[in-house]
A and B are shown apart, each in its own frame.
Chain A
Amino acid sequence: MADEVILLDVWASPFGMRVRIALREKGIKFDWRAEDLSNKSPLLLKMNPVTKQIPVLIHNGKPVCESLIIVQYIDEVWKDRTPLLPSDPYERAHARFWGDYVDKKIYSTARQVCTTKGEPKEAAKKELIQCFKTLEGELGDKAYFGGKTFGLVDIALIPFYGWFHSLETIGNLNMEAEFPKLVAWGKRCLEKESVSQTLPDQLKVHDFLLGIRKKLGIE
């Protein structure tokens, strides 16, 4: 019997992108449903009553929430192909640690750089630079954070590559000069179909972030 896989999402969400990439890595067909976050569907509210947020994966009618939890679920269910986590427990803990690091540090900081001004922006920029340097240190000379293969940490971080153009223009950062390894890694990931099919055009993301700035009255 075929699996029914539905993803409740919004195009711009880095968290939704993680799930799309994971599904595509595994070659899983899914029904992508765009939510209007100002008018959430009854299905979303029913499937995620606790946080009411996207993304929500609905697999044969049962919901899984929180992007990195969803990615691990996908890896465990469709375990016969393209593993997203290593098999060794220590390496798995290592991957979870860095996935958690990205989760804790990147989104809120990058968003603050792109949608605030003055002191909060400068403080966020300083922190973000530190985070990217730390991530570059962890990546080292590996092709991917997972080593030779694309995995959980790569999936956690690559959606933010779509923000690099905005970080350069709004944040006044020279990403290629300051984080050459990270930029090279981003380009390498984009060579993968699962990523290139999922990541929106950087200019589209930029317009989206400019839209938020406008709404917040930031100039």
Chain B
Amino acid sequence: MADEVILLNFWPSVFGMRIRIALAEKGIEYEYREEDLWNKSPLLLKMNPVHKKIPVLIHNGKPICESLIAVQYIDEVWKDKSPFFPSDPYERAQARFWADYVDKKMYSIGRTVWTTKGEEQEAAKKELIEMLKVLEGELGDKAYFGGENFGYIDIALIPFYSRFYTLETFGNFSIEAECPKLMGWAKRCHKRESVSNSLPDFHEVYDFVVQLNKRLGIS
């Protein structure tokens, strides 16, 4: 019997992109449903009553919420191809640590860069560059964070590449200049079909953020 896989998402969401990439890496067919976050569907509210947020993966009617949890779920269910994790428990713990590092801070710091000005923005910019440099250090000379294979940390981080143009424009800096190895990694990942098909156009994301700021009264 075929699996029924649905993804409730919002196209600019970096978190939704993680799940899209994971599903594509495993070659899983799914139904993509765009949510209007100002008018959430009854299905979304039913499937994620606790947080009421996207993305939500619905597998044969059962919801899985929180993007990194959904990515791990996908890896465990469709375990016969393209594993996202190494098999060694220590390496797995390291992968979880770095994905968690990205998850804890990157979005909120990024958001501060594109929604504030002056001192607050400068502080956030500094913190973001520091974070990216730490990640660059962890990447080292590897092709991917996972080593030779694209994996969990890569999936956790690469969606933020879709926000780089936005961050650079709002923050008036160059991520390439600050973190050339990381940019090399991002471009390498973007050559993968799973990534290029899942990340939106960078300028469209920028326009979206500009519009959203207007809508929220941020100038």
Contacts and interface: CB of A to CB of B under 8 A. Distances in A.
A93 B69 CA distance: 6
A168 interface: no
B101 A50 contact: yes
A89 B77 contact: yes
A64 interface: yes
Given A89-B77, A90-B64, A101-B50, A96 B72 contact: yes
B100 interface: yes
B94 to A, nearest CB: 8
Contacts of A69: 93, 96-97, 100
Nearest to B89: A76
Contact of A62 (B50, B62, B90): B90
Contacts of B70: 93
B93 A70 contact: yes
B173 interface: no
A65 interface: yes
Interface string B50-70: 100000000100101110011
A120 to B, nearest CB: 19
A51 B97 CA distance: 11
A66 B90 contact: no
A142 interface: no
A70 B97 CA distance: 9
A92 interface: yes
Given A65-B97, A69-B96, A90 B73 contact: yes
Interface residues of B, number: 22
Contacts of B89: 73, 76-77
A100 B62 contact: no
A97 B93 contact: no
Nearest to A74: B89
Interface of B is mostly: helix
Contacts of A70: 93
Query: How large, as a class, is the contact surface on chain A?
Result: 20 to 34
B97 A66 contact: yes
Nearest to A60: B90
A59 interface: yes
B92 interface: yes
B36 to A, nearest CB: 24
A198 interface: no
B134 interface: yes
A89 B97 contact: no
B78 to A, nearest CB: 10
Nearest to B65: A97
Contact of B73 (A59, A65, A76, A93): A93
Contacts of A73: 89-90, 92-93
Interface string A34-52: 0000000000000000110
B34 interface: no
A172 interface: no
Contact of A100 (B69, B77, B94): B69
A197 to B, nearest CB: 24
A92 B64 CA distance: 10
Interface of A: 50-51, 59, 62, 64-66, 69-70, 72-73, 76-77, 89-90, 92-93, 96-97, 100-101, 134
28 contacts: A50-B101, A50-B134, A51-B101, A62-B90, A64-B90, A64-B93, A64-B97, A66-B96, A69-B97, A69-B100, A73-B89, A73-B92, A73-B93, A76-B89, A76-B92, A89-B73, A89-B76, A90-B73, A92-B72, A92-B76, A93-B69, A93-B70, A93-B73, A96-B69, A96-B72, A97-B64, A97-B66, A97-B69
Identify the 10 closest CB pairs spanning chains A and B, nearest first: A89-B76, A76-B89, A73-B93, A93-B73, A69-B96, A96-B69, A64-B93, A93-B64, A77-B89, A89-B77
